[in-house]
Chains A and B, each alone.
Chain A
Amino acid sequence: MFSPLLVLLFLACYISGLFLLARWAERRSEAGRPVTDNPWVYALSLATYCTSWTFYGSVGKAVGSGLIFLTIYIGPTLCAALWWSILRKLVRIKSSFHITSIADLLAARYGKSHRIAALATTVAFLGSVPYVALQLKSVISTFSLVAGGQSVILDFVGPLVVGLMIAYTILLGVRRIDPTDRHPGMIATITAEAVIKLVALVSVGLFAVYGLHGGLGDLLSSLPPDRLSAILSLGGAGYTGGSSYVLWASYLLLAMSAIIFLPHQFHLAVVENASEKHIRTASWVFPLYLLVINAFVVPIAAAGIAAGLDPSRGDIYVLGLPALHGRAGLALLVFLGGFSAAMCMVMVSSMTNAVMLTNHVLLPVIERVSALHFLKRRLLQCRWACVAFLILVSYWFESVVGESYILVNIGIIAFGAVLQFAPAILGGIFWRGGTRAGALAGLSAGFLLWMHTMLLPALSKSGNIWGGPVQNGLFGLPLLRSEALFGLTSLNPVTHSVFWTLTFNLGLYVLVSLLTAPSREELAVLGEFTGETSRRERESGPQVESDIDLAEKCRLMERTLMEYMRKAEVQEIILGSMRTLDLFGRTSISVTMLAALYAEVEKAFSGVVGAAAAHKALGKAGVFTPEETRILSDVYGSMLAEMRITPDEMVRRIDYHIERERLLTRHADELKETIRQRELEIVERRRVEEALRKAEENYRGIFLNAPEGIFQTTPEGRFAVANPALARILGYGSPEELMAQVTDVGKQIYAYPLGRARLLRMLSENGSVDGMEMAMRKRDGTLIWCSIIARAVRDADGNLVRIDGMLSDVTERKKAVEELRESSARISALFNATSDSAILMDVEGRILAINEHGAMRRGLSPEEMTGHYIYDHLPPNAAETRRLQTREAVRTKSPRSFEEERDGFYYSVTIYPILDSDGTPRQLASFSRDITARKQSEELIQRLNESLEQRVLERTQQLEEANQELKETLEQLNRTHRQLVESEKMASLGGLVAGVAHEINTPVGIGVTAASHLEDKTKAMLEAYHGGELKRSKLEEFLGMCDESTRMILSNLRRASDLIRSFKQVAVDRSTEERRSFNLCEYLDEVLLSLKPHLKKTAVKVELSCDEKLVIDSYPGAFSQILTNLVMNALTHAYDPGQAGIIRINIGHNEGRMLIVFSDDGKGIAPEHLDKIFEPFYTTKRGRGGTGLGLHILYNIVTQKLQGTVRCESNPGQGTTFTLDIPLEGSRAQ
């Protein structure tokens, strides 16, 4: 898959990365910010438990033994529930006794026994060897899998890996001699490795489930049912029924002990613990880690079987699956994960074993063998050797034993070994009865039995090493066979071993402990280990009388403590101490109990003021009387005697401790002084930094907010620094934009090419310029004037480095100065241009300024007159007048005007007082104008005016006469107009009469004809009657004719009568203009009837559309006149002779208004005539029947009499429409 060299290269890179991480963590720790102070780091470091045994072996175990592998991880989960009780206690003991290893713990508990420490070290060492061997085996075998191929490197993989492990462990774990120090670098790397191995295993799991199969269901269904059942059962195919459950329980027990008592786990969980609070987080994070890392074990096992991998090599499935499917990257990740899992375990295990071996095995030997004393100063190198020794032995074990078992079985051997620690440790911290002899007996028995029942079978199975005891029994006794001890054959080998080792270990520990008494050393630490103060211990001290008044002593201590604390807090301390010592209810105590109380109070008080101060303060309290001190001394003397220590030894020890305390105190004082100095330095540095920061802020504020542009330019002409004001002055959006865009200041900024050259020349000559004004161009080309203050900055050789300077825009100022100059010139010109004499003088009349004319008038120049009194240049009478007027102007503070006559010339003089801010006249301005010519003109005008008035009167008379004539003419015109209008009306009335006559003519004519015919017939009848020729028939014929004629006559006369009546009404209305109620429709019908003679002459028809019931109260004559004029106008103008047409009259009314729409379909009115049709006398047919008054009359009637409006709309060829809008209020509809 990969070449061995490439894999080695990957490994080298990976290890280098981890080493860098470790260095980083160590530096953080040295800086006081250790990464190990994080509970998650602590929890993940515990994941070292998941070694390559987990990484590769779990799958192998799952394939071979089903779900039994889960016990290895469920056990720690169970144990985690007790961590808050067990682990916290161990951590506290570690802190109290500076415990560095599990052997140290046992030694500390059991009387600082070297024997028990050495035994524990041996157990740990022998238990660790298989486990480390397991890691080496996994790395070596997986290296071969990943690298593959043929290479000479593969022959040296083992030594290479071993060398790598030794070097790495020494570098990170055993670099220093102090074993109590924690290892932040090592912890950081194993935390990172924990993450990597989790990611790697989960990645393979996901690949197996979703990469190779369509999910978990699909994966499991791809297996034969018997294989699936084997994987999902307890004990797999190898165990059934009860044996599998016993195995399950055994494994649980082994795992529960291993999570704490494996030397490397003990080191990580106890020795490396930074805070006991981290245990809380670890108690759920670590089980969660185990759950996640095991979640994919069964799927990977199933996928491996489904892929056809060898079921007897289940431990290679994790790597084999990606390798089999050509996933080289994933395979490499898996290899690195497995390597991480192995390496972190090897590193921690070999490090802690090296410490134990050095302290508890090697050092005692060195002490005893004088030839080895030189090694006392070579302890660090000894530890390195121990590291190498452990790893090399493990490598040997792997090469001898490893091939016989799959990985998971090797791990169980280690678990079985560390299980032997459980009785002695748990008994030691929870049971006060445990003794050193008991611990030694139990641990020895358990250890020997573990070797016999577990280690020897493993060695035997691997190559028949020491096979005799296994097969034939120890000493040839069948009862002592390794896997059937005392004939017990019903248990599997693991359970068998667990059962016998634990039985003997625990049994002997308890039994021997009960039979032996603890030593004084054990009793001394019992309280701290078990957490209980033995009443027997307290009572077994020297027998002294309990006659000391407890309350009195408490008061003494209370009085002293109250100098430092409140009463309630003091009482809390004293009562708490009494509670600890179980002194409640007692009134008197012994001197030893008083000493204990005193120590307890001092310990609690030292938490407030520090140990030294507490000791000193309580010492002054006078708690102990001289007699009590003597008794106490006697008691301790007897105790020393019992301890069998010589006084010299005691003095030596005390001196040692005193000297040590002195050194420590001095060292602490030095440290305090150093800290104080550092604090002072820090304060000073902060002050300086603050001052610098403020100064920088100030300068920055000045730089950013200064109205002047501040700049630094390079000799090449670029801006190196520019502030916002400079950018603004030069028309750029920001300093950055200015600096980016201006690459040559001389060309882009200076208005004239030689501007910058001039500046550089001046800087070269003077070193600086101040207020140099230069023309410059803004970005948009606008010319501005700038004032420059600049300084040349040069290096040591005198070369120009940069130019620092300020630039301000003086365009406005320059403009103002120019304007002021021009203004002064204009004022001066104006002052001198006038022909008046203008004088500025003080209140005394002294001339301050005089214009040229003023001086010239006197034959002098302005300079000659300035400074003299004005009065000196006037004739006496004029001077007096001028003086008076001047004084008056000053007094009244108002201008004085007067006229002066000098030498035949007249002058108009005005003197203006010039007031200051207080209103006091300070100066006077005198203007003297020569008015001689004006005087002469005024006289002339006076004469002309006199003649002009006469002429105006005459002309006014003429105008009045003309005006009167015009008025008369106008009246004449109005009269004529009214006459014409009246004539028009009369003409209209005449037309009406003509029409009426014509209309009446028909019925009258018919009547006359009928009457004539009747008369002729009557005459003929009379002649016939008189002639006697009258016959009946004739008579009857005559009578018939008479009847017909009379009816005809009568009907025609009636019609004539009706016509006359209606015409009469129309005529009356037209002439009288009276108001009355009338039916509008009927009335207009009558009007139309009167127009019938005119209509008959044409082919035009009139259609009237009107509400027949509409009765209004108005002027009927006006309506008659309107309709007549409209019809006659249409007949006259709208139609050519003989042209047919229709005139439509539509009358509607709504909301108090009446709308009369009169429209014809004639030829229309040209636009140029349309706006003139209502003007009087305007007609297009003058001389052909048109008067130009018809529509004018109509307009007046509608707008004035009826208070309405009329408008005309027409287009040539499309007829004309008149719309009359008349308010019914004026007509009052009914």
Chain B
Amino acid sequence: MKLPFGKPGVSRFIFVTLLLVFNWPILSIPRPENLLGWLFAAWGLGIGVLFLAARGAADADDADDEPGGGADV
């Protein structure tokens, strides 16, 4: 199944998700001693998702370039 990273609006969804993830410390999640690991893990995963989103956008652009392509970015 094709991942929806090339869909419009996915970058905003990622932004909101990351915003929540990086502000969870405000809700005292996780515990203070695990905070460093939490932040770096979320950071790494966030970069991975951004990479997929970038690639998805590139694919969508390519599809637009092709005759009959209709993705709306």
User: Which A residues are within 8 Å of any B CB, using their own CB?
Assistant: 67, 70, 74, 77-85, 229, 232-234, 245, 248-249, 252, 277, 280-281, 283-284, 287-288, 291, 295, 298
Contacts and interface: CB of A to CB of B under 8 A. Distances in A.
Contact of A245 (B25, B40, B44, B61): B25
A81 B11 contact: yes
Given A70-B39, A277-B61, A287-B47, A81 B53 contact: yes
A291 B3 CA distance: 25
Nearest to B55: A280
Contact residues of A: prevailing secondary structure: helix
A767 B30 CA distance: 99
B15 A78 contact: yes
A77 B32 contact: no
Contact of B43 (A85, A232, A277, A291): A291
Contacts of A67: 35-36, 39
24 contacts: A67-B35, A67-B39, A77-B47, A78-B18, A78-B19, A78-B22, A81-B11, A81-B12, A82-B11, A82-B15, A84-B57, A234-B35, A245-B26, A277-B58, A280-B57, A281-B54, A283-B53, A284-B50, A284-B51, A284-B53, A284-B54, A287-B43, A291-B40, A291-B47
Nearest to A73: B43
Given A249-B26, A295-B40, A81 B58 contact: no
Contacts of A81: 11-12, 14-15, 18, 46, 50, 53
Given A281-B54, A283-B54, A84 B11 contact: yes
Given A248-B23, A277-B61, A284-B50, 11 more contacts: A79-B15, A81-B18, A81-B46, A84-B54, A229-B32, A232-B32, A248-B25, A249-B26, A284-B54, A288-B47, A291-B47
Contacts of B72: none
B70 to A, nearest CB: 12
B33 interface: yes
Contacts of B51: 284
Residue of A82, A84, A295 with most chain B CB atoms under a 10 A cut-off: A84
Nearest to A234: B25
A77 B43 contact: yes
A546 to B, nearest CB: 30
B31 to A, nearest CB: 11
A234 B31 CA distance: 11
A138 to B, nearest CB: 25
A82 B23 CA distance: 17
Contacts of B36: 67, 232, 298
Contacts of A78: 15, 18-19, 22
Interface in B19-73: 19, 22-23, 25-26, 32-33, 35-36, 39-40, 43-44, 46-47, 50-51, 53-55, 57-58, 61
Contacts of B26: 245, 248-249
Contacts of B40: 291, 295
Closest 3 CB pairs of A and B: A81-B15, A245-B26, A280-B54
A281 B54 CA distance: 7
Contacts of A245: 25-26
A78 B43 CA distance: 9
A67 B46 CA distance: 18
A233 B19 CA distance: 19
Residue of B19, B23, B26, B43 with most chain A CB atoms under a 10 A cut-off: B43
Contacts of A74: 22, 39, 43
B34 to A, nearest CB: 9
A951 to B, nearest CB: 121
Contacts of A291: 40, 43-44, 47
Nearest to A66: B35
A683 to B, nearest CB: 31
A273 B36 CA distance: 34
A233 B33 CA distance: 7
A232 B61 CA distance: 43
B18 to A, nearest CB: 5
B18 A82 contact: no
Contacts of A252: 22-23
Given A67-B39, A232-B35, A232-B36, A249 B23 contact: yes
A118 B58 CA distance: 39
Contacts of B14: 81
Nearest to A228: B33
B11 A85 contact: yes
Given A74-B39, A288-B47, A280 B58 contact: yes
Nearest to B22: A74
B52 to A, nearest CB: 9
Contact of A284 (B18, B33, B47): B47
A619 B19 CA distance: 54
A623 B46 CA distance: 54
A115 to B, nearest CB: 33
A463 to B, nearest CB: 36
A1051 B57 CA distance: 134
Nearest to B36: A232
Nearest to B27: A245
Contacts of B23: 248-249, 252
A77 B39 CA distance: 12
A85 B50 contact: no
A70 B37 CA distance: 12
B10 to A, nearest CB: 9
A298 B36 CA distance: 9
Contacts of B57: 84, 280
Given A77-B43, A233-B35, A283 B50 contact: yes
A249 B25 CA distance: 10
Contacts of B15: 78-79, 81-82
Contacts of A248: 23, 25-26
A430 to B, nearest CB: 12
A284 B61 CA distance: 18
